[in-house]
Structure 1
């Protein structure tokens, strides 16, 4: 019998220290390991780049949460993505990327991997005609987010994975927005899951990291080799902080989702808001799919502000508890203007975000306080 999610989050990979009995495994803050003879390694550890017990504990923990067989942890989400792309692609391979993806992912593909010979097409993966056209040409890799960043589109993972596999493509899902507490793409047919662990996995805005999870032995071996050979590994202290954050992931995501749902409804009723992007709202075009493949709708809400860029900036700069900052997924609430901040790198591309869009990362503060903060900011637009 498999333990429940919250139980795995607390116990997977977290064996108490056998020497002292410490319930929390120690941080192995070391660059190298004593050998009992040439090539006679203790538990397989020899050098911090090739392996570290604290990093291993995190990798076991995240793999368990995603119901995957293997995980590799990296120094950032983009380092994790880059290693995966290098592991599975060859020059001439074609990547289909959702047209509302994280700007950094698009930049990585367009400015680093395309010059190295990869072919990139961005596609609205919620548009049946666009998907049909995309698969009319050979595809080696399908990369999708759901919910997307920042327009909160919902993609049917199971249906698209089946379609991609029929075309011989590998399917990657960036699960950063949902986290494994709300969605487990490997169980829906995805081959690989990637995370910016900086966000909901860490949950406290105090660490940068990334993880690749898969049950495909070949992909796992290639990613692990690149982790070792290229060296963008997660440091022991960061691995410890992520492990500690993950232990409260289940309860945090419940509160993020509850607060975000209430705030989405508040924003929907305000005359200064033209549109609310949140899959928990019944009129969201992806609501039914999200309800089927997710266990909650998450803590991210975006809005289109009536007027335009100036009004959107006034909202983004007008809150008190929602701090104006990049990133997301921490216990504290954040607000941002994607076109100027997180997605500035995709201006002028198919992934450009409308200038009147504002993104909220809804934290776990008291809901009344958050709603009052938003109401005051809206009154000043």
Structure 2
């Protein structure tokens, strides 16, 4: 399987075929699995034998999803979780302890910032936030107890790009790991492990599913370290359900054709937005005007499907755009085949303090669109109308 192209791995990797010779991945909706004897049960539960015992930590459908995603990311192993936030939680709480230190980008998803700012300090884990693109700031933030660098690239919602090779070099110089949230690109456009990352984190809810159907998350990384995360997930229980894994497997099968087309649509939409008189700035890595455009094109095969932009007139003008779209969906989710629009300052990043939002560069006029598979001219027509509505 390792010699196959990623487009093929997305469809064929990780398959387990039962005695019934099913063509599509089987859905194992069961809480537990039978054993032939008490001795076999003992050896399964002790780990002496490999096999399925209880679906909180062993289920064939979940295993297929994990194996396929690991193959796509070029990692040794993956562990699936109930959501993207559960994946971040499992990564940190399984590998770090009280007294450890994290260096994190200040440009993160709102819930991730909440976890790092408010939850981790309660358990004695210190976090320092630095600008995503400033390697010298990352170097300066390292302490003797630094164990983890955490970034998302492109960032949410401003699509800043991290220098993955540069961050990996700094982290490894100090004996720390680099974890990359690859939600915005997915392995269809970016494989962080190839650039030196130790872990890749996913909200599978987004592009991996691609249809807004189910929640899921995953961590991909070295087998020995994923084993530690697996043991934590097995005990704490933030596991992915078999049904959600089954849905996500079908999502992976169409990942490349979806994301590649969505990225093409996003580039066309971003280019149009740059010409609109109501827009003061467009944030999209595929544009030559993006400050990290060249870096993005070295790390990614395309700019991705997320376009953010500043509407002149602040919150009132931005809300008018949101309220007056008729085709684009008003929701905070992203990665769907249906285009979505949201106002980050009052939704995805609404729980942050005004100071934290300002530090992250999230203004009142900022809107984020996750571009889907509609015809791009229809998206442009929808935004043309909504941008023309006057107060």
Taking structure 1 as the reference length, the TM-score comes to: 0.96
Which one of the candidate residues 167, 176, 188 is aligned to 2:195?
188
Q: Is the aligned partner of 1:12 residue 2:21?
A: no
Structure 1 residue 137: Cα displacement: 6.5
Alpha-carbon distance, 1:125 to partner: 2.2
SS of match in other structure, 2:122: coil
Q: 1:354 aligns with which of 363, 366, 372?
A: 363
CA shift, 1:194, in A, is 0.3
Aligned: 1:197 with 2:183:
no
Partner of 1:329: 335
Match among 93, 96, 102 for residue 95 of structure 1? 102
Unpaired runs of 5+ residues, structure 1, are none
Contact 2:65-2:248 within 8 A present in 1 as well:
yes
Q: Which structure 2 segments of 5+ residues have no match?
A: 45-49
Q: Partner residue of 1:340? A: 346
Which one of 168, 177, 180 corresponds to residue 173 of structure 1? 180
Mapping of residues 355-374 of structure 1, within 5 Å: 355-374=364-383
Which residue of the partner structure matches residue 115 of structure 1? 122
Say whether the 8 Å CA contact 2:103–2:138 is kept in structure 1: no
Q: Is the 8 A contact 2:101 2:143 kept in 1?
A: no
Per the TM alignment, residue 139 of structure 1 is displaced from its structure 2 partner at its CA by 2.4
Measure how far apart 1:130 and its partner are.
2.5
- For 2:40 and 2:62, the matched residues in 1 are separated by 21
Counterpart of 1:237 in 2: which secondary structure? Answer: helix
The equivalences for 1:38-187 within 5 A come to: 38-40=38-40, 44-135=51-142, 139-187=146-194
Does 2:4 align with 1:3?
A: yes
Question: What is the CA-CA distance between 1:128 and the residue it aligns to?
Answer: 4.1
Instruction: Give the Å deviation of 1:351.
Output: 3.6
**CA offsets 1:289-313 (integer angstroms, 9 cap, x no match):** 0000101111000001112111111
What is the Cα deviation at residue 136 of structure 1?
6.5
**Aligned pairs for 1:261-300 within 5 A:** 261-300=267-306
Distance apart, 1:220 and its partner CA: 0.8
User: Cα distance, 1:358 vs. partner?
Assistant: 0.3
Match of 2:47 in 1: none
Kept in 2, the 8 Å contact 1:346–1:352? The answer is no
| Stretches (4+) displaced over 3 A | 135-138
Contact kept? 1:203, 1:330, Cα under 8 Å:
yes
Whole-angstrom distance in 1 between the partners of 2:145 and 2:283: 32
SS of residue in 1 equivalent to 2:345: coil
Q: Are residues 1:242 and 2:243 paired?
A: no
Distance 2:303 2:3 in 1: 24
SS at structure 2 position matched to 1:360: strand
Cα distance in structure 2, aligned partners of 1:138 and 1:292? 32
Aligned-pair CA distance for 1:138: 5.1
Residue by residue over 1:135-176, the C-alpha shift from the partner in whole angstroms, topping out at 9 and shown as x without a partner, is 366522110111000011011101111111102111100000
Q: What is the CA–CA distance in structure 2 between the aligned matches of 1:137 and 1:306, rounded to whole Å?
A: 45
TM-score scaled by length of structure 2:
0.94
Q: Is the helix fraction higher in 1 or 2?
A: 2
